[in-house]
């Protein structure tokens, strides 16, 4: 087995909760008393360009909130969206421990819209952990498109065999594994720590 030199981490579901997934949208729909079906239909029409950075949060809200019920000030709704984010403290600590060894190039590899991604990077101190952010909103590609994994390898100039990719969704691991990357399906922090140890990845 090649020595691991590079770690790619998903954010939502691994290091943090999801930024704007089913649970977060459900909380907003309940809080603002929105039409669930109408909002979800509009969301699914625009979520891909939203996460690829083709539209910003204001355009996303223009295309979702206009058809779902009461008029809601955009800033109020955006503040609610941002407030949904929470850290996964145990796995964040594992990432910090990997960073502290100084042995690994640390990068995210995640699907997230730009406004939420930038907020979460700052709010949870991710620049202290990661050298690089391969986020869908910055590169115009989304997992599980194999091209985002190839791009991550090209940017970092690493061989697949020396990379480890961690994600909570099995479908996102398949293209990485097919390219030759080591993969870990994140279920909980203790399991993640054990799987990293199995791959020979050191933690402080």
Residue 67 has a pLDDT of 66
**DSSP state string for 105-160:** EEEEEE---HHHHHHHHHHTTGGGT-SEEEEHHHHS--TT-HHHHHHHHHHHT--G
Region(s) of the chain under CATH 1.10.150.240: 22-83
Distance CA 20, CA 120 (A): 12
Tell me the two tokens of residue 27: 């909380």
Residue 1 has a pLDDT of 75
- pLDDT tens-place string over residues 134-188: 999 999 999 999 999 999 999 999 999 999 999 999 999 999 999 999 999 999 9
* Whole-structure pTM value: 0.96
- pLDDT tens-place string over residues 93-129: 999 999 999 999 999 999 999 999 999 999 999 999 9
State the fold for domain 22-83.
Answer: DNA polymerase; domain 1 (1.10.150)
* CB contact at 8 A, 93 and 9: no
Region(s) of the chain under CATH 3.40.50.1000: 6-18+87-198
CATH code of domain 6-18+87-198: 3.40.50.1000
């Amino acid at each position: 087995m090649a020595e691991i030199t590079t770690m790619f981490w998903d954010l939502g579901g691994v290091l943090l909760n999801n930024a704007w997934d089913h649970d977060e949208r459900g909380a907003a729909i309940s809080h603002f008393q929105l039409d669930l079906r109408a909002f979800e239909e509009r969301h699914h029409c625009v979520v891909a360009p939203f996460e690829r950075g083709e539209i910003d949060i204001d355009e996303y809200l223009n295309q979702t909130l206009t058809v779902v019920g009461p008029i809601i000030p955009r800033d109020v709704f955006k503040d609610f969206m941002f407030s949904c984010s929470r850290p996964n403290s145990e796995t964040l600590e594992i990432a910090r421990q990997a960073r502290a060894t100084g042995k690994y190039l640390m990068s995210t590899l995640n699907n997230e819209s730009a406004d939420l991604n930038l907020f979460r990077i700052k709010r949870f101190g991710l620049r202290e952990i990661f050298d690089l952010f391969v986020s869908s909103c910055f590169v115009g590609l989304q997992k599980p498109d194999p091209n985002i994994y190839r791009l991550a390898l090209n940017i970092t100039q690493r061989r697949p065999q020396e990379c480890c990719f961690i994600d909570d969704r099995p479908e996102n691991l398949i293209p990485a594994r097919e390219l030759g990357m080591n993969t870990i399906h994140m279920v909980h922090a203790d399991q993640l720590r054990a799987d990293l140890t199995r791959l020979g990845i050191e933690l402080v």
